[in-house]
C-alpha cells in the first residue's frame, strides 16, 4: 500500500500530521522511503530567458565575432554589422548606452553601443546580460568632458589619452536583443 506521507513529502511536517489525522490508512504500513536530497541550485542547468528586443528587429544575416571586430576596427569602420557579446556596463541613469565585450573583465577591449537617433534605450540594469546588436560600426575620439560624463554613468575607459580624451569603438545600433 502506498504511504500517503511519501506522496506529500514536500509539504511541511505539520501538514503531514493533518493528513494522517484524517483517518487515511496506510501511513505506517510501509517503511518511509529514503529522504529526498535537495539538488543544489548551482548543479541545475541555467534556464535561459527569451531575448527581449529593443529598436528594430535584427535582420537575418551573417554575424561577426566581436573579438575580430575589436582587433581590426578600421576594417569595419562605417559598415553595418551584427555581433554578440557580454554587456559589461550600461548607462545607469536612462539606458542610453551600453558597452559590449567578450567578457566582464574591464581590461578586455570593448565597444560602446548607442542607439540610432536615441530612438530607443535598454534597461538600466542590462549589465551582465548577453546582447546581440545590429548597427553601424565606427571609431572616434571622445573629448575629456564626454569621457567624464560617461564615467559618471558607469562607463569605463582604461586607456585614456593624456588630455583625458579617449579613443572609442562605437556601434550605433538599430536593433538589440538582450537575455540573461
pLDDT of residue 178: 98
pLDDT of residue 5: 42
Mean pLDDT by 10 residues, the chain (180 residues): 43 38 43 51 60 97 96 96 97 95 90 97 97 97 95 86 95 98
Q: Are 124 and 90 in contact (CB under 8 A)?
A: yes
**Residue 166 has which C-alpha cell?**
579617449
Strand 130-142 to strand 166-179: parallel, antiparallel, or no bridges (unpaired)?
A: antiparallel
DSSP string, 91-141: -SSS--EEEEESSS-TTS-EEEEEEGGG-----TT-TT-EEEEEEEEEEEE
pLDDT of residue 33: 46
Sequence-ordered list of residues with C-beta below 8 angstroms from that of 23, at least 6 positions apart, any chain: none
Domain boundaries, the chain: 4-41, 52-179
pLDDT of residue 157: 85
DSSP-based three-state secondary structure for 176: strand
Strand 130-142 to strand 52-55: parallel, antiparallel, or no bridges (unpaired)?
A: unpaired
Number of neighbours of residue 36 by Cβ within 10 angstroms: 9
The CATH class of 52-179 is mainly beta
pLDDT of residue 159: 82
Amino acid at each position: 500500500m502506498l504511504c500517503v506521507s511519501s506522496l506529500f513529502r514536500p509539504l511541511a511536517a505539520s501538514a503531514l500530521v493533518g493528513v494522517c489525522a484524517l483517518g487515511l490508512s496506510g501511513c505506517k504500513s510501509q517503511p518511509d522511503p529514503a529522504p529526498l536530497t535537495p539538488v543544489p541550485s548551482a548543479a541545475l542547468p541555467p534556464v535561459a530567458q527569451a531575448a527581449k528586443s529593443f529598436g528594430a528587429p535584427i535582420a537575418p544575416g551573417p554575424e561577426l565575432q566581436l573579438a575580430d571586430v575589436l582587433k581590426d576596427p578600421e576594417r569595419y569602420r562605417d559598415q553595418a554589422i551584427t555581433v554578440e557579446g557580454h554587456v559589461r556596463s550600461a548607462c545607469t541613469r536612462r539606458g542610453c548606452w551600453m558597452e559590449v565585450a567578450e567578457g566582464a573583465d574591464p581590461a578586455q577591449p570593448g565597444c560602446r553601443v548607442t542607439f540610432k537617433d536615441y530612438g530607443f534605450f535598454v534597461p538600466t540594469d542590462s549589465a551582465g546580460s548577453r546582447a546581440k546588436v545590429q548597427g553601424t560600426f565606427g571609431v572616434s575620439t571622445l573629448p575629456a568632458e564626454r569621457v567624464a560624463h560617461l564615467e559618471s554613468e558607469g562607463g569605463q575607459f582604461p586607456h585614456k589619452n593624456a588630455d583625458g580624451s579617449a579613443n572609442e569603438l562605437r556601434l550605433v545600433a538599430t536593433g538589440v536583443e538582450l537575455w540573461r
